[in-house]
Amino acid sequence: MVELPEVKVELCDGCGLCLTVCDGEALVIIDCKACIIQDGWCDQCALCELVCPTGAIGFVYEIVFEES
Amino acid sequence: MSINVDLLSSTQYFSGLDLAKVESVRPFVLERTATKGEYIIDDGETAEALYLVISGALKEIKTSAEGKELILRIVRPGESFNDIPVFDGGHNIASVQAIGSVSLYEISSTNMEIILHEHPDVALNAIKVIAQRARFFTSLVEDLSFKHVIGRIAKLLLEYADNRTESGIKLTQQDMAAIVGTVREMVSRSLKALEEKGIIKMNHHRIVIIDAEALREAVE
């Protein structure tokens, strides 16, 4: 399963900059907020996270110790 | 394509000016577009123009002799780049590359000088832009030199890995930045550095601590 970035809607100001860097067209603006649509199109480049001016979109990490 | 006065007014250099003044500047401005990956300027080359970002985003980067890339900053709509060499007459201080499709307004060094002479309001805005840039780079130097961000990130990783089974907390790089009191770019750099040392391994949803002992040493 492709892991997708998450949008914190309370931080998103709907500027749409994430859309301009997404090759997969996986993002749209709905009701002035970024939304992730076509799962399969996200290539996990993380450029959306890089350009977001408010830190609203990004991949979430779980932090684990390597299993021995 | 013609230069849009409203868009020009939305940039830091021309914000707050009445439209008649912005209109008078319009003949000095050229439009330029670029696609993803395209370099607008190259580090070390003669500075020819100032660029205002109308849409899209770019990264201002320095590249080491080994080809390692350091992102100095992300340039977003309304912001500008190449200001410093245009004003001091030196060479470009960094390369700037489009992250996606971008639309830019370009003002040559010569034309910028004319505009500054004719419009004190633009000169005042220019001072604000340069002051903000100085503040930004001072903060970056502070983060890079004094704050030991890697150590704080290492500590965070150990703490959250310990707690994971109980809390199930997942963090974005922005969250990590907020927790340790830095900016997301520094988190990204720190994680990359830890990964290069073989201490952690990353994919897009998981940070795996491979060498906990080395991570503890990084905290100190």
In the numeric block, the tokens 């890697």 are attached to B150
Q: Does B164 touch chain A (CB under 8 A)?
A: yes
B192 or B142: which leads in pLDDT:
B192
Q: For residue B123, which amino acid is it?
A: A
Q: How far apart are CA B94 and CA A38, in angstroms?
A: 36
Average pLDDT, whole number, for chain A?
Answer: 87
Say what angle helices B173-180 and B184-196 make with each other, to 10 degrees.
100
Q: Is the pLDDT of residue A40 over 60?
A: no
pLDDT tens for B194-203 read 999 999 999 8
pLDDT at residue A42, rounded to an integer: 85
Residue B2 pLDDT grade (very low, low, confident, very high; cuts 50, 70, 90): confident
Residue B13 pLDDT grade (very low, low, confident, very high; cuts 50, 70, 90): very high
pLDDT at residue B131, rounded to an integer: 97
- DSSP string covering B140-197: HHHHHHTS-HHHHHHHHHHHHHHHHHHH---B-HHHHHHHHTS-HHHHHHHHHHHHHT
Q: Does A51 touch chain B (CB under 8 A)?
A: yes
Q: Is the ipTM of this complex over 0.85?
A: no
Domain boundaries, chain A: 6-58
pLDDT tens for B170-183 read 888 988 988 888 88
**What CATH class does A6-58 carry?**
alpha beta
Q: Which residues contact B76 (CB under 8 A, 6 or more apart)?
A: A17, A51, A53, B53, B57
Q: How far B9 CA lies from chain A's nearest CA (Å)?
A: 17
- Which residue does chain B place closest to A11, by CA atoms? B174
pTM of the model: 0.81
Q: How far apart are CA B29 and CA B119, in angstroms?
A: 15
Q: How far apart are CA B147 and CA B115, in angstroms?
A: 41
Question: Which residues are registered as beta bridge partners of B80?
Answer: B52
pLDDT at residue B141, rounded to an integer: 85
Q: Give, as one character, the DSSP assignment of residue B46.
A: B
Q: Does B207 touch chain A (CB under 8 A)?
A: yes
Q: Does A62 touch chain B (CB under 8 A)?
A: yes
Q: Which residues contact B193 (CB under 8 A, 6 or more apart)?
A: B150
- Mutation choice for B interface testing from A9, A63, A64, A66 by most B CBs within 10 A: A63
Q: Is the pLDDT of residue B193 over 60?
A: yes
pLDDT tens for B39-98 read 999 999 999 999 999 999 999 999 888 777 788 899 999 999 999 999 999 999 999 999
